[in-house]
């Protein structure tokens, strides 16, 4: 990062601290992502492996592809992969909203890594649930922000989870589906065993205005798994 960008970010951060001082806390989670070898790619491919073992085929959908770091690492043929991004990567150039409006296909594994803002992520998850094959998986990236800067919306630094953690809270309260967060790679949520009568619990009235301070409290109640148990959760 160039010196001008560092200075610009620091000025912006100081302005935010002044404007939103009631929302900002200096406490942060003590997790070193670099020390954890497990990542989203390994977890997605584990889910794909589970589906392939059961069905012999797997259709994969990725929302938010950017530079294709994840998309190109998925162990499937190109005809079995769909990547949606309005700017770069994947093989479909449009927003996720536009894609889901016209999509008629069903998928076995969906990876949600689009705009890291609560309401957009919520829409992406709800739409993904609607096009998920029975026995499929939905994985969601960036569910564990480590500090208020990574959680703050709008984004003002390179490392950014946004407030997609709010969907984790909703999923933990939802009915007729299983959900856990694997403590790896900025937090990877995994939805599985979705029954036909699932109910996504929309808690936006309660939590939409929550900030990192509230996340620190809610985090204690979320279903968090260490990576080894995360793989067992996917493969069981």
What domains appear along the chain, each with residue ranges and CATH number? 3-235 (3.40.50)
State pLDDT tens for residues 176-200: 999 999 999 999 999 999 999 999 9
Of 156 and 220, the structure prediction assigns the larger pLDDT to: 220
Tokens of 35: 């020390």
Helix (H) or strand (E) holding 64: none
Residues 6+ apart with CB under 8 A from 35: none
Mean pLDDT of the chain: 95
Residue 163 has pLDDT above 70, yes or no: yes
Please report how the helices 212-219 and 165-173 are oriented relative to each other, as an axis angle in degrees rounded to 10: 40
State pLDDT tens for residues 39-92: 999 999 999 999 999 999 999 999 999 999 999 999 999 999 999 999 999 999
State pLDDT tens for residues 146-157: 999 899 998 988
Q: Give percent of the chain above pLDDT 90.
A: 86
Closest CA to 103 of 77, 121, 79, 129: 129
**Using alpha carbons only, what angle is made at residue 182 by residues 176 and 187, rounded to the nearest 5 degrees?**
110
Tokens of 193: 């065993």
Residues 6+ apart with CB under 8 A from 3: none
Residues 6+ apart with CB under 8 A from 104: none
Strand ranges (E), 60-177:
60-63, 81-84, 107-112, 132-140
Letter string b/e over residues 113-146, b meaning 16 or more CB atoms within 10 A of that residue's CB = bbbbebebbbbbbebbbebbbeebbbbbbbbbbb
Q: What pLDDT score was predicted for residue 44?
A: 98
Closest CA to 116 of 97, 141, 99: 141
Tokens of 73: 């690492």
State pLDDT tens for residues 85-123: 999 999 999 999 999 999 999 999 999 999 999 999 999
Q: What pLDDT score was predicted for residue 1?
A: 58
Q: What pLDDT score was predicted for residue 139?
A: 98
């Amino acid at each position: 990062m160039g010196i001008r960008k560092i200075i610009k970010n620091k000025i912006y951060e100081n302005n935010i601290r002044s404007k939103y001082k009631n929302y900002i806390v200096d406490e942060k989670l003590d997790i070193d992502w670099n020390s954890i070898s497990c990542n989203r790619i390994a977890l997605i491919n584990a889910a794909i492996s589970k589906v392939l073992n059961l069905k012999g085929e797997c259709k994969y959908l990725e929302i938010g592809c950017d530079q294709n770091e994840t998309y190109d690492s998925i162990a499937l043929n190109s005809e079995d992969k769909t990547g949606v991004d309005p700017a770069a990567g994947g093989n479909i150039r449009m927003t996720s909203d536009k894609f889901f409006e016209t999509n008629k296909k069903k998928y076995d594994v969906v990876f949600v890594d689009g705009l890291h803002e609560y309401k957009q992520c919520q829409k992406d998850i709800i739409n993904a649930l609607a096009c998920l094959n029975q026995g499929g998986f939905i994985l969601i990236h960036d569910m564990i922000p480590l500090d208020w800067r990574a959680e703050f919306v709008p984004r003002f630094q390179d490392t950014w989870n946004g407030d997609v953690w709010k969907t984790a809270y909703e999923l933990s309260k939802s009915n007729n589906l299983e959900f856990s967060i694997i403590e790896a790679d900025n937090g990877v949520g995994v939805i599985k065993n979705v029954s036909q009568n699932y109910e996504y619990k929309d808690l936006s009235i309660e939590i939409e205005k929550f900030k990192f301070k509230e996340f620190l409290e809610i985090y204690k109640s979320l279903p968090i798994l260490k990576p080894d148990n995360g793989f067992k959760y996917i493969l069981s």
